[in-house]
């Protein structure tokens, strides 16, 4: 299947037959126009341009009023969940740029590269600790520099980076080397791209795909190292996944110059 025309549909039927809201998360806009939506089960004429956003465009369904977001290169049309309307409006008000002193700390922590199987990413993530202007502290935070509004369901909880007062080191963030290595992992079987890591006491763990955080027992995330031992497929060590709900996302604007934040190959 061609990824650029993929459409994601859960089991439930759409609440609006015209735009597919309730069952369609995203689809290829050029493909929908080219095929008049026949292949995708949507009607392109129903999406009415509402307005240009800072990046991308906002559309609304002429039948049900559902919000749709077309990304900046006009490739993907994305459903905007109702509960994200207010956040999208605030995101669109003004540029979300971080002060140089904050960027310097983020650069020292290092942005985790996108997995090597992904194309050129549209985002740049740095795992860190965030102190907000309101006095809150989030020990497992991900500053996400991106060219699209925070509408993805997986970004939950999500805030705007304008709330950031200062940045620190997350006690749950993996080291630069381990994070870099997880982004270079090979897919050895469907859905499995493991990186074997080792704690100072010799305990082994498997990280799957690109990983930023590690919370498991009393093991300190920063002390884990990429193991030189071979992965024993007959006796696979515990696979430690990130619990998505524990990461708080802080969204800021992406621009080319920020690529200096990426961890480089040593
Ligand atoms: Zn609709």
Residue 61 Cα to ligand 1 middle (Å): 5
Rounded to an integer, what is the distance from CA 199 to the centroid of its chain?
A: 27
pLDDT computed for residue 2 by the predictor: 40
252 Cβ neighbours under 8 A, 6+ residues apart: 96, 97, 98, 143, 144, 145, 146, 160, 161
If you average pLDDT over residues 220-246, what whole number do you get?
A: 94
The top-scoring range by mean pLDDT among 115-119, 133-137, 255-259 is: 133-137
Instruction: Average the pLDDT over 140-148 and give the result.
Output: 96
In this predicted model, which residue has the larger pLDDT, 166 or 191?
Answer: 166
Tell me the domain boundaries of the chain.
3-80, 95-266
CA–centroid distance, residue 252 to ligand 1 (Å): 30
What does the angle CA 142 – CA 146 – CA 148 come to, to the nearest 5 degrees?
A: 125
Span from the CA of 132 to the centroid of ligand 1 (angstroms): 37
**Does the structure show a pLDDT above 60 at 11?**
no
- pTM for the complete prediction? 0.91
Half-sphere exposure of 74 (CA within 13 A, CB side): 5
Q: Tell me, what's the pLDDT at 37?
A: 84
What pLDDT is recorded for position 3?
44
DSSP 8-class letter at 55: S
Nearest to 81 by CA among 40, 24, 144: 24
Label each residue of 65-113 as H, E or C: CCEEEECCCCCEEEECCHHHHHHHHHHHHCCCCCCHHHHHHHHHHCEEC
* The two three-digit tokens of residue 12, written as one number: 């439930």
Between strands 137-146 and 248-253, the pairing is: parallel
For residue 144, how far is its CA from the centre of ligand 1 (angstroms)?
Answer: 30
Tokens of residue 232, six digits: 């024993």
Long-range interactions of 1-10: CB distance < 8 A, separation 24+ = 4/28, 4/31, 4/75, 5/31, 5/39, 7/40
Q: Which of these, 176, 172, 173, 55, lies nearest to 123 by C-alpha position?
A: 55
The first and second tokens of residue 185, run together, are 């992992």
Q: Give 14 Cα–ligand 1 centroid separation in angstroms.
A: 9
Measure 23 CA to ligand 1 centroid, in angstroms: 11
Tokens read off for 238: 């515990």
Q: How far is CA 181 from the centre of its chain?
A: 18
């Amino acid at each position: 299947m061609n990824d650029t025309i993929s459409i994601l549909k859960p089991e439930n039927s759409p609440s609006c037959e015209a735009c597919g809201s309730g069952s369609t998360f995203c689809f290829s806009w050029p493909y929908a126009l080219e095929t008049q939506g026949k292949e995708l089960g949507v009607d392109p004429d129903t999406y009415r341009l509402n307005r240009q956003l800072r990046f991308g465009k906002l559309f609304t369904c002429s039948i049900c009023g559902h919000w749709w977001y077309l990304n900046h290169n006009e490739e993907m049309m994305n459903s905007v969940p109702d509960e994200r309307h207010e956040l999208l409006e605030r995101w669109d008000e003004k540029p979300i740029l971080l002060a140089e002193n904050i960027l310097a700390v983020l650069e020292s922590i290092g942005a985790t590269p996108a997995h090597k199987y992904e194309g050129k990413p549209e985002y740049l993530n740095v795992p860190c600790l965030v102190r907000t202007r309101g006095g809150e502290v989030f020990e497992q935070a991900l500053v996400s520099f991106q060219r699209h509004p925070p509408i993805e369901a997986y970004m939950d909880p999500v805030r705007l980076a304008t709330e950031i007062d200062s940045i620190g080191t997350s006690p749950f963030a993996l080291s630069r080397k381990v994070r870099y290595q997880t982004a270079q992992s090979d897919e050895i079987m469907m859905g499995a791209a493991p990186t074997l890591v080792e704690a100072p006491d010799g305990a082994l763990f498997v990280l799957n795909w690109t990983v930023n955080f590690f919370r498991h027992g009393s093991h300190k995330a920063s002390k884990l190292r990429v193991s030189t031992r071979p992965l024993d497929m007959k006796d696979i060590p515990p696979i430690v996944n990130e619990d998505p709900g524990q990461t708080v996302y802080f969204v800021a604007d992406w621009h080319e110059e920020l690529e200096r934040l990426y961890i480089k190959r040593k």
